[in-house]
A and B are shown apart, each in its own frame.
Chain A
């Protein structure tokens, strides 16, 4: 009797559980439907930009129908700001987010954009720039136009770098003409193109920046800003030594002590070619009276009034391994002045390279006790494990035979103490 009652209760409980699960299932389904409906209604609110899209489907577009689809897709997905900032603030919560868009749609956006990139990446640079001019000529840019401009912005420097100097002659003439046509093109557009030029980072593009600084007054400041970026974008992950001669020539001709000279010094140091370092160190050597003066400059106790001052202020940006040998030679040569040695050591110790600290260790081996302060200063800058490991390894082996490795054991002690105090 008890067994039967027990079973009945089990069946009743199971039935209730099933009922609850069914209710939950349908509720969930309904909620999802609401979310989907909400998403649909958001998209249906978006303006139809298909007419603007046709502008993109110009004669250059090889696959017209495909491109129109792409255009439409971009328009309908991203043109509408996804939330009302005021509404969110008033409700003090995030109303909706980018992730409300289904993943497939999000990913398709990435792939759609790729079709733009693929379309332009292997074109002649002049073709790419022509397309940019077509867009600039428009009174108002649609979102699709902005999308394309965005692509052109990073594809254009690539196409210039891909093409030979001969092939690029046309585009550089176009660029030069564009920058100087202040009556035809708005300042904003010319500044945009100037930024593109700044990204190219070839001797020709740097020369064009210099030409703009000296020849187009309303772009001078902007062009100096771009010049200052020289060497910071490392195409292919490598240092662009080929940019140095153009900057060096400009440095030789420079006569002032302002933003232009600062940009040149910064560019030369960021490129980091040995020829560039040589010319800067020569300037410093001629101008500086003592190491103390250099330190005062670095501590910002002296306002820069001469071009070489900027060279000192930018020394910490040096990174190029191809300049290491040159700097080490300065450090090791007996003829070098204390100022030259100081500059070389400052530059080497600014890097995050074990090879640079290896060079500094060789200097330390020959250094006198009076230079212990410099050793401490330079080795305390180690921020990477490879350099630390190398230095620790070398000083531990040297500790067993100090006389052979260090002219003055005081230097070794200074380095050991520095290494023991990892900041």
Chain B
């Protein structure tokens, strides 16, 4: 008990903050009171259930921290030992030879088959009362309580046991009747006298006149159906396996007392500890977690974990990772991550429809993966790019790739995330979902989280972004520059070279070689939306207070100046380069600001480093935010989805089930 009390104090300290945040103080205080209250009582009361002992075997020193006649043990060290003729007996229903049933703690009782009495010795003594359950349908029995060992000293109490009703043939010794006696002074031995093999005893309770035990207050409705004040409705027909009708389903409970219940919860696949006065408050041994079982929940059972501050379900909620690609990209940008972490299995979802037509296979962490295929609204919103290209004319180009969300505003991208989650919840009811967004994908996730409501939003437990321009990127200003310096007047407005850069980025050929890694169409409207001064970035950041209280992580990269697009070709649109055009000073000043250079905005070449996190944006009441900064190595923007180690590090840090 001391250990439990110490653990409780530790838990009091460590969990207090979480509990206050969770507004569960009342429950917590109530539980604490119960813990201490029950602890005080336990010092005086001992219940012997004989569970764990063998069939027809001497009990001996089992309750003295020693072993029984057949070597079982060591048992609990209560300082109690029995005369050699005191035997344990298992019922026939449980595979033993005992002709009894209805015992208060199935399946083992005490009896004696030789001599005229069995004796229980308690050298340290006990006071106040003594009680037990018994069954004696044929011969009357008498109990004597003495102040000395081995039935010596002063006789403190005598208890005559009347005959009990006779049960059916296969369990004639049933039911078991509770009985007890109060006395004054200190008792050190009890003599169970009478006819050998004619009386069975169970739940022998020292310290009070009514017998204790888990099931002592249960009401029997027949057929194994019972109701317990602490456990609720249950069936003990297969004891020690108990079927809990109130949601916990199969539980294994062998022995135990009101203050010491160790239970295997089959659905949870774990051992837990509780007391009759605690339940449904539980302690889980495997991870030292204190849990609260939400009574009545089943399939899944729900528990509140005070250590993590989160609710858990058993069977565990389906775990889903949803990947969100960025601009100028596609679901295939996740191919390496998916291949490495999910053996290639991650269907694409386009506006709530699985367009890959297969079901994902879970990985080692029991997680399934999907990826959003953005772009459903590209044709529908009527947006056109600078110079009037439309999604359709883009598709008519030789590139032939759909616009992938590049003609869609952030709110509609958020809608696509919502639709994907709606589909996922249909396939995996009750799923916990982690969103992983690259670049603009992270903003789509935020647009969804900040504006949606309902089960789709509630299902998300974490958002991780990598290379996401939470504060936009100055590079996005190129769109507005092009609008203000149209191609038609390029020779008048001095933007001829800038339009060369635009065309070059559409089909970048350096020294006669096509460089797809620097292919970027800056005429698309999404470029405008991603500018650091865009109304859409403002819209997102003005609504940051609406983010739900989940875990957030941002993976941030530095090592490259803004405008650096390719590793294979050391090309920066702002810096003079042989074999490829660069923008005019006029454009550079418009994009980066007067007096600024590319090195003013270090980052991943497209998104400045200080824009990839949102530490100063996230509300103070939402502390579950971690930054994962990588200033070494110089990972470029388009390489970030392949940085699998960085992504899995963030997943491990933020999501329990990734560990």
| B residues 365-397 touching A (CB-CB < 8 Å) | 376-377, 379-383, 392, 395-396
Question: Are A383 and B338 also in contact (CB < 8 A) when A93-B535, A106-B415, A237-B346 are?
Answer: no
Please give, as numbers and ranges, the residues of chain B lying within 8 Å of A158 by CB-CB distance.
357
Partner of B452, one of A79, A99, A239, A387: A99
Contact B513 A304 (CB under 8 A): yes
Please give, as numbers and ranges, the residues of chain B lying within 8 Å of A289 by CB-CB distance.
none
Q: How far is the CB of B499 from chain A (nearest CB, A)?
A: 22
Instruction: Say yes or no for B353: interface residue by CB 8 A criterion.
Output: yes
Contact A88 B535 (CB under 8 A): yes
Contact B422 A319 (CB under 8 A): no
Contact B513 A423 (CB under 8 A): no
Q: How far is the CB of B380 from chain A (nearest CB, A)?
A: 5
Partner of B538, one of A79, A85, A93, A146: A93
Partner of B400, one of A194, A232, A236, A319: A194
Contact B568 A300 (CB under 8 A): yes
Q: Mark B618-641, 1 if CB is under 8 A from A, else 0.
A: 000000000000001100000000
Contact A303 B632 (CB under 8 A): no
Q: How far is the CB of B577 from chain A (nearest CB, A)?
A: 13
Q: How far is the CB of A235 from chain B (nearest CB, A)?
A: 7
Whose C-beta in chain B lies nearest to the C-beta of A89? B535
Instruction: Say yes or no for A226: interface residue by CB 8 A criterion.
Output: yes
Partner of B644, one of A107, A195, A352: A352
Partner of A78, one of B380, B399, B400, B414: B380
In this complex, the member of A97, A109, A111, A423 whose beta carbon has the largest number of chain B beta carbons within 10 angstroms is A97
Instruction: Say yes or no for A134: interface residue by CB 8 A criterion.
Output: no
In this complex, the member of B411, B451, B453, B569 whose beta carbon has the largest number of chain A beta carbons within 10 angstroms is B411
Distance, CA A192 to CA B539, complexed state (A):
35
Whose C-beta in chain B lies nearest to the C-beta of A304? B513
Contact B344 A234 (CB under 8 A): yes
Partner of B332, one of A92, A117, A233, A304: A233
Instruction: Say yes or no for A114: interface residue by CB 8 A criterion.
Output: yes
Question: Are A150 and B645 also in contact (CB < 8 A) when A81-B381, A106-B418 are?
Answer: no
Instruction: Say yes or no for A137: interface residue by CB 8 A criterion.
Output: no
Please give, as numbers and ranges, the residues of chain A lying within 8 Å of B341 by CB-CB distance.
384
Distance, CA A323 to CA B379, complexed state (A):
40
Distance, CA A55 to CA B514, complexed state (A):
44
Please give, as numbers and ranges, the residues of chain B lying within 8 Å of A422 by CB-CB distance.
645
Contact B422 A110 (CB under 8 A): yes
Instruction: Say yes or no for A11: interface residue by CB 8 A criterion.
Output: no
Contact A113 B352 (CB under 8 A): yes
Q: How far is the CB of B114 from chain A (nearest CB, A)?
A: 63
Contact B345 A237 (CB under 8 A): yes
Instruction: Say yes or no for A295: interface residue by CB 8 A criterion.
Output: no
| A residues 247-275 touching B (CB-CB < 8 Å) | 259, 262
Instruction: Say yes or no for A276: interface residue by CB 8 A criterion.
Output: no
Whose C-beta in chain B lies nearest to the C-beta of A319? B339
Whose C-beta in chain A lies nearest to the C-beta of B420? A110
Contact B513 A191 (CB under 8 A): no
Instruction: Say yes or no for A36: interface residue by CB 8 A criterion.
Output: no
Contact B382 A232 (CB under 8 A): no
Q: Mark A132-156, 1 if CB is under 8 A from B, else 0.
A: 0000000000010010001100100
Instruction: Say yes or no for A94: interface residue by CB 8 A criterion.
Output: yes
Instruction: Say yes or no for B648: interface residue by CB 8 A criterion.
Output: yes
Distance, CA A299 to CA B381, complexed state (A):
42
Question: Are A236 and B380 also in contact (CB < 8 A) when A113-B353, A319-B335, A352-B339 are?
Answer: no
Q: How far is the CB of A294 from chain B (nearest CB, A)?
A: 15
Please give, as numbers and ranges, the residues of chain B lying within 8 Å of A184 by CB-CB distance.
none
Question: Are A225 and B344 also in contact (CB < 8 A) when A110-B422, A352-B339, A383-B645 are?
Answer: no
Q: How far is the CB of A76 from chain B (nearest CB, A)?
A: 13
Please give, as numbers and ranges, the residues of chain A lying within 8 Å of B585 by CB-CB distance.
none
Instruction: Say yes or no for B511: interface residue by CB 8 A criterion.
Output: yes
Contact A222 B645 (CB under 8 A): no
Distance, CA A93 to CA B536, complexed state (A):
8
Contact A113 B351 (CB under 8 A): yes
Please give, as numbers and ranges, the residues of chain B lying within 8 Å of A383 by CB-CB distance.
336, 642-645
Whose C-beta in chain A lies nearest to the C-beta of B375? A150
In this complex, the member of B357, B536, B538, B633 whose beta carbon has the largest number of chain A beta carbons within 10 angstroms is B357
Q: How far is the CB of B96 from chain A (nearest CB, A)?
A: 51
Contact-size category for B: 35 or more
Instruction: Say yes or no for A385: interface residue by CB 8 A criterion.
Output: yes
Q: How far is the CB of B78 from chain A (nearest CB, A)?
A: 49
Distance, CA A122 to CA B412, complexed state (A):
30
Partner of A192, one of B335, B395, B414, B633: B395
Contact A146 B352 (CB under 8 A): no
| B residues 397-434 touching A (CB-CB < 8 Å) | 398-400, 409, 411-412, 414-415, 418-419, 422-423
Contact A225 B415 (CB under 8 A): no
Q: How far is the CB of A118 from chain B (nearest CB, A)?
A: 10
Please give, as numbers and ranges, the residues of chain B lying within 8 Å of A81 by CB-CB distance.
381-383
Instruction: Say yes or no for A82: interface residue by CB 8 A criterion.
Output: yes
Whose C-beta in chain B lies nearest to the C-beta of A316? B568
Distance, CA A118 to CA B296, complexed state (A):
38
Q: How far is the CB of A414 from chain B (nearest CB, A)?
A: 19
Q: How far is the CB of A286 from chain B (nearest CB, A)?
A: 22
| A residues 349-370 touching B (CB-CB < 8 Å) | 352-353
Q: How far is the CB of A33 from chain B (nearest CB, A)?
A: 19
In this complex, the member of A239, A388, A423 whose beta carbon has the largest number of chain B beta carbons within 10 angstroms is A423
Q: How far is the CB of A42 from chain B (nearest CB, A)?
A: 15
Q: How far is the CB of B480 from chain A (nearest CB, A)?
A: 10
Please give, as numbers and ranges, the residues of chain A lying within 8 Å of B644 by CB-CB distance.
352, 383-385
Instruction: Say yes or no for A187: interface residue by CB 8 A criterion.
Output: yes
Contact A154 B355 (CB under 8 A): yes
Please give, as numbers and ranges, the residues of chain A lying within 8 Å of B361 by CB-CB distance.
237
Whose C-beta in chain B lies nearest to the C-beta of A386? B340
Instruction: Say yes or no for B510: interface residue by CB 8 A criterion.
Output: yes
Please give, as numbers and ranges, the residues of chain B lying within 8 Å of A225 by CB-CB distance.
398-400
Contact A353 B645 (CB under 8 A): no
Q: Mark A112-132, 1 if CB is under 8 A from B, else 0.
A: 011001000100000000000
Q: How far is the CB of A85 from chain B (nearest CB, A)?
A: 7
Instruction: Say yes or no for B589: interface residue by CB 8 A criterion.
Output: no
Question: Are A154 and B350 also in contact (CB < 8 A) when A99-B451, A383-B642 are?
Answer: yes
Whose C-beta in chain A lies nearest to the C-beta of B378? A150
Contact B423 A110 (CB under 8 A): yes
Contact A188 B396 (CB under 8 A): yes
Partner of A303, one of B512, B642, B649: B512
Instruction: Say yes or no for A62: interface residue by CB 8 A criterion.
Output: no
Contact A98 B648 (CB under 8 A): no
Q: How far is the CB of A236 from chain B (nearest CB, A)?
A: 5
Instruction: Say yes or no for B30: interface residue by CB 8 A criterion.
Output: no
Please give, as numbers and ranges, the residues of chain A lying within 8 Å of B355 by CB-CB distance.
154
Contact A146 B423 (CB under 8 A): no
Kindly list 6 other residue pairs between chains A and B, CB separation below 8 angstroms, not including A111-B352, A187-B396: A97-B409, A98-B415, A99-B452, A238-B344, A385-B645, A385-B648
14 contacts between A and B (CB under 8 A): A81-B381, A89-B535, A93-B539, A99-B451, A103-B453, A110-B353, A110-B423, A113-B353, A188-B392, A191-B396, A222-B398, A225-B399, A237-B342, A423-B633
Ranked nearest first, the 4 interchain pairs of A and B with the lowest CB-CB distance are A110-B352, A97-B411, A237-B344, A99-B451
Residues of A within 8 A of B (CB): 78-79, 81-83, 85, 88-89, 92-94, 97-99, 103, 106-107, 109-111, 113-114, 117, 121, 143, 146, 150-151, 154, 158, 187-188, 191-192, 194-195, 198, 221-222, 225-226, 232-239, 259, 262, 300, 303-304, 313, 319, 352-353, 383-388, 422-423
